Amino acid sequence: MRKEIIAGNWKMNKNVSQTKDYFSELLPLISTDKREVVIFPPFTSLSAAVSCTQGSCVKIGAQNMYFEDSGAFTGEVSAEMIRDTGAVRVLVGHSERRTLFGETDETVNKKLRKAFETGLSPIMCVGEDLNQRQSGETFDFIASQIRNGLAGIENDSIVVAYEPIWAIGTGVTATSGQAEEVCGFIRERLAEQFGNAADGIRILYGGSVKAGNIKELMAMEDIDGVLVGGASLKSEFADIVNYDD
Ligand code: PGA
C-alpha cells in the first residue's frame, strides 16, 4: 500500500558533465514501476539531471529551497525556480542544513508549506545526534521535530526521513531494530496529526545505507524506503534500487 522510495542525496557532488556520465551508467541498470526512485543533485545540476532522466523511472528533486517567492535573498533558490527545472521533490531540514547552516524547525515548517503550495513534494528529515541518543533524549527530540516541523500542515503526501546524525557518513548504520523503533514512533506521532492517513505516509531511513544492508532495513514494518548519501554517488546505487525483497 505504501510505494517504496529509494532516494539518493548527492550532497555537494557532481557537476553537469559528471551528472550526465552518472545517468548514462545508471539508467541501463535500473527499471522499476514498483519503487519510486529519486535523485537529489545540487541545484546547478538539476536541469541536466531532469533532461537525462526524461522517460526513465528516475525522478529528480532539490536538496533545499527557500520559503519566499522572490526578492532580495542573495544565494537562495525558490520553490518555483526548482519546479521550473522539472524537479518534483525537495529535501527539507536535512541534518547538514540544520547543523551547518542554521536550519530550524521553524524554517523547516515554512519551507514545507511553500513546497506544498508550489507543487513540489517534500521529504522532511529528522534525527538525533549521538549525545541525544546516549542521554536517552531520542524520542522526545524526534517528537518535537515532528510536531514543530509539521505544525499546521494538513497535506498527508508528506514523506518523513529518519536519519540519525551519528549514522550519517560514518559507516555506522543504525541496526534495523533501532531504525524500526524510531520509524514506528514517528508513525504514531503522524497518526496524532493525520489520523488513519498516517498508515499511508512513507517513512524513510537514512544513514550509511548500502547494498549490503538495504534488504534488512526494508524488511521492517515502518520503513518504506531509504535516503542514501555516499552510496548514491556510485553505480552501487543500482544494486540498492534493485534489492531483492
Ligand atoms: P550517508 O548519508 O548515506 O552517506 O550516510 C545519508 C544522508 O545524509 O542522507
Residue 216 banded pLDDT, cuts 50, 70, 90 = very high
C-alpha cell at 179: 531504525
Whether 109 lines ligand 1, by a CB cut-off of 6 Å, is no
Whether 78 lines ligand 1, by a CB cut-off of 6 Å, is no
CB neighbours of residue 22 within 10 Å: 24
68: domain CATH number is 3.20.20.70
Residue 150 banded pLDDT, cuts 50, 70, 90 = very high
C-alpha cell at 124: 522532511
Residue 74 banded pLDDT, cuts 50, 70, 90 = very high
Q: How far, in Å, CA of 139 to CA of 226, rounded?
A: 20
How many Cα atoms occupy the beta-carbon half-sphere of 194 within 13 Å? 23
- The residue from 4, 96, 128, 163 that is catalytic is 163
Q: List the residue whose alpha carbon is closest to atom 6 of ligand 1.
A: 229
| Domain interval for residue 11 | 4-241
Q: Are 131 and 115 in contact (CB under 8 A)?
A: no
Q: Are 108 and 67 in contact (CB under 8 A)?
A: no
Whether 105 lines ligand 1, by a CB cut-off of 6 Å, is no
Residue 76 annotated to the active site: no
Q: Are 72 and 37 in contact (CB under 8 A)?
A: no
pLDDT of residue 245: 87
For the stretch 92-147, pLDDT in tens is 999 999 999 999 999 999 999 999 999 999 999 999 999 999 999 999 999 999 99
Positions of E strands within the chain: 4-9, 35-40, 58-62, 89-92, 121-126, 159-162, 203-206, 225-228
Please say if the pLDDT value at position 32 is more than 90.
no
Most informative mutation of 9, 40, 97 for ligand 1 (most atoms within 8 A of CB) = 9
pLDDT of residue 151: 98
Q: How far, in Å, CA of 237 to CA of 27, rounded?
A: 11
pLDDT more than 70, % of the chain: 100
Burial class (CB in 10 A: 0-12, 13-18, 19+), 18: middle
Q: Are 61 and 83 in contact (CB under 8 A)?
A: no
Q: What's the alpha-carbon Rg for the chain, to the nearest Å?
A: 17
Domain count of the fold of the chain: 1
Residue 163 annotated to the active site: yes
Q: How many residues does the chain have?
A: 245
Most informative mutation of 5, 159, 163, 232 for ligand 1 (most atoms within 8 A of CB) = 163
pLDDT of residue 36: 97
- Rounded to two decimals, the pTM is 0.97
Round the average pLDDT of the chain to a whole number and report it. Answer: 97
Whether 217 lines ligand 1, by a CB cut-off of 6 Å, is no
Q: What angle do CA 43, 88, 119 make, to 5 degrees?
A: 115
Q: Residue 214 is which amino acid?
A: I
**DSSP code at position 11:** -
Whether 206 lines ligand 1, by a CB cut-off of 6 Å, is yes
Please say if the pLDDT value at position 172 is more than 90.
no
Whether 228 lines ligand 1, by a CB cut-off of 6 Å, is yes
